[in-house]
Chain A
Amino acid sequence: MPERLRQLLPSVLSVLLALGVCWALIALTMEPGTATDAYLQMLWGGIGNWPAYLDGAAATVITRPLGEAAMKAALLTLTGLSVAVAFKVGLFNIGAQGQMLLGALAAAVVGAHVTLPGVLHVPAALLGAALAGAAWAGIAGLLRIYRGVHEVISTIMLNWVALSLVDNWLVVGPLRGAAEGGQSITGTAEIQATAVLPRLLSDGSRLNLGFPLALAAALAVWVWLTRTRSGFETRTVGLGVEAARAAGIPVARRMGLAMALAGAMAGLAGAVLVLGTEGRYPGTLGAPYGFDGIAIALIGNNHPLGATVSALFFGVLRAGGTRMQLLGVHKSFPELIQGLALLFVAGRMVWLALLRRRNVAPTAAAEVPRA
């Protein structure tokens, strides 16, 4: 157990250090008081304004911020899972963004253009999104398995293909929602009421079914990776392809399925966005949740539950970050905190790697004369 705690420590400290550095940056450029106020505003915007609530304000001062945080956390959890799952099989999925765009579009199309009874419509749209994301990731997976194309290259490039295909063509072209009389509307047609992810609260909070869905997905991925044979084989492939192959594990199938699952997770993130809050594929889906997923997964140590915890944390930060603007603090600080945390986490990995090499070095040197 202490060993596990020790594994957690670097991530936690990195996040705290990032928070401290950003606080210092705001304090230096503005005033220390402003920095503290901004952090408090961020906190109230993420977990709810408890002091105001205790002073007798309506419950919405808590449920609305929590709903926003949960919504962002759901998206980050799913994209984080996408990256983490691919990591487990030894692949670096930088394409969660593109897979998410495809998933979002699929959800928007199924939600708007397919008529189904309410009970089936949401699952159908989610399924469509998962399949679209999986197919997009599958391209990179197949290229890797059969042609040896490195997935980092192919997923990065597929991100741009997805952006051009979806944002720059389909959404502004054939799939643009209809409007009457020269109205400018952005995005695809609005999804039908049956396809909307049900809200869990009825007071204006946007907390919806997407959040428990994301948590369930994280739990399922964790159970699959740790408690099933195929999950075990997947992790084995990630630890050593040749060893896994020698042990009789179907490496190509494990890689392909893990990559498809990664794509499905990113696709679901897109679906949660479209079905949960946007109601359509927006004119531009600019928010880089897919890229954030990389940070979330790394800070979460590539563990499904670790990624969930880090997604919850950054969801709170993101949702609350907007409120920093009320004090004149720039809108980018929540991202800055996340980026710095990632930098520190990565720094710790470099450091660990250096240490390991130093231990190994003498033996390697000893072997040289023999050769």
Chain B
Amino acid sequence: MMLRLHVLALTALLCACSKQKEEAPPAGAQAPAASGKTEKKALPVGLVIDVGGRGDHSFNDAALRGLELWAAGKRYEGGKYVDASPDEVRKSLPPHLTSDAARFQALPIRPIVLQSKAQEDYVPNLQLLVDQGTRLTVGNGYMLANAVRTSAQENPQAQFLLIDSQVLDAQGKAMKLPNVRTVLFKEQEGSFLVGALAGLVTKSNKVGFVGGIEVPLIQRFEVGYRAGVKTTNAQAAQALMSVYTGSFNNMAAGKQVAQDLISKGADVLFHAAGADGIGVIQAVKEARAAGKSVYAIGVDSDQAHVAPEAILTSMMKYTDLAIYQAAKDLVDGSFAAGEQVLGLKENGVGMAEVRVDFPGKAEALQKVEALRQRIIAGGLQVPALPADLAAFQATAP
């Protein structure tokens, strides 16, 4: 047995060695350069996604959609990029952009995506991308704020895009760097709309919120949601149950929390919990299979495809668009550092199409649309901080 083991090891080793010798010369010229041969002019654009990883159907997938599908016109399949059809791109666009689909021609960029295994990988991953010659490097998520600051300071010649956070200095104060564009979203406005809808849909007058890690960013979702529910259903706002899982990559935790909320009578659950939210949706799906009338509200991306029956709508956060725009600016030569804050008015957030049917659907959607118009017109200020929630009172239109 020992002998067999050794022989195996040796054959495997020999195979590896002989292969390495054969392949050494082309690989020595560095693989990225080799793939660049086919698309010489393509600008490399890097993206570091957080520990939630690829396939969260939410925040990270939105970023990947913006960079890979829209900007580069590519689809990631089995570790390789294949060209995506225009139809595929059109289908992935949000409703307010489908008429504009022709605009989304593939740009001459080459995406390089790195997933992170742990928080301490962010800086080396950003550095690796910069060392690969990326013209723009995207840090997706507030968790990368410190890493982007470090990398941007160490590589003043490189340009960065940071999603969901400003650049923060050692004391946690916002600061500006000449080579970083930051994009923040008014999550509270989109969450307000789905909250208003939840208040109209709930029959038990109990709704729930599942957050990931309890940081101000995620609290904005909760505060907006609470304000929305309060506007349409004061009773449900009183009984609103909110739980934080403490993670963005633990599906089991999300499911457990959701099951708990459902057993307490909540019939609409809004999650802002990354991959934990997939667990929330699963729990809702299972509860529906068991005969309960429960809905989940997705987040960041339109999550209807995860469970078409169970998803009432999704609170859309168009990070994909922000990343696409940055890539387009880069190609056009107009990329500039600075701070962007995108709300309903700027189409930075929104509410996905409601595909499920429920009694009084048309009327409910009308009400939500009216609220949306008022927010865009500036007649309704949605609170963002928990402290401002108590004072919030939506005046009659």
- A residues contacting B by CB (< 8 A) are 13, 16-17, 19-21, 23-24, 29-30, 32-37, 39-41, 45, 49, 51-52, 60-61, 64, 68, 167-168, 172, 177-186, 189-190, 204, 206, 273, 277-280, 282-287, 319, 322-323, 325-332, 344, 347-348, 351
Interface window among B101-109, B116-124, B330-338: B116-124
Flag whether B396 is at the interface (Cβ < 8 A).
Answer: no
Minimum Cβ distance to chain A for residue B179 (Å): 16
The answer on a CB contact under 8 Å between A283 and B79 is no
Interface window among B138-146, B190-198, B229-237, B264-272: B138-146
The answer on a CB contact under 8 Å between B13 and A182 is no
Of listed A40, A184, A286, A322, residue having the most chain B CB within 10 A: A184
Once the chains are docked, how many angstroms separate the CA of A284 from the CA of B142? 13
Once the chains are docked, how many angstroms separate the CA of A184 from the CA of B141? 10
Contacts A36-B20, A287-B120 given; indicate if A185 touches B145 (C-beta within 8 A). Answer: yes
Tally of contact residues, B, Cβ under 8 A: 66
Flag whether B252 is at the interface (Cβ < 8 A).
Answer: no
Flag whether B170 is at the interface (Cβ < 8 A).
Answer: yes
Listed from nearest, the 4 A-B pairs whose CB atoms lie closest are A20-B12, A328-B79, A179-B172, A287-B118
The answer on a CB contact under 8 Å between B16 and A61 is no
Contacts of B30 in A (CB 8 A): 49, 52
Interface majority SS on A: helix, strand, loop or mixed?
A: helix
Q: Beyond A30-B79, A287-B120, A328-B78, list 18 extra A-B contacts (CB 8 Å).
A: A23-B15, A36-B27, A37-B23, A51-B28, A68-B124, A172-B214, A178-B171, A180-B172, A182-B216, A183-B174, A183-B216, A184-B218, A189-B172, A204-B154, A287-B119, A319-B124, A326-B31, A328-B80
Once the chains are docked, how many angstroms separate the CA of A108 from the CA of B312? 43
Interface window among B161-169, B277-285, B360-368, B374-382: B161-169
Interface majority SS on B: helix, strand, loop or mixed?
A: helix
**Residue in chain B with minimal CB distance to A34:** B79
The answer on a CB contact under 8 Å between A168 and B246 is yes
- B residues contacting A by CB (< 8 A) are 1-2, 5-6, 8-9, 11-13, 15-16, 19-20, 23-24, 27-28, 30-32, 51, 78-80, 112-115, 117-121, 123-125, 127-128, 131-132, 142-143, 145-146, 154, 164-166, 168, 170-174, 213-218, 220, 246-247, 249, 384-385
Once the chains are docked, how many angstroms separate the CA of A180 from the CA of B173? 6
Contacts of A64 in B (CB 8 A): 127, 131
30 contacting pairs across A/B (C-beta < 8 A): A13-B9, A19-B12, A19-B13, A20-B13, A20-B15, A30-B79, A35-B19, A36-B16, A36-B19, A39-B20, A45-B128, A60-B131, A172-B213, A177-B172, A179-B168, A179-B172, A182-B385, A183-B172, A183-B216, A189-B172, A190-B170, A279-B170, A283-B143, A284-B119, A286-B119, A322-B114, A322-B125, A323-B128, A326-B114, A344-B5
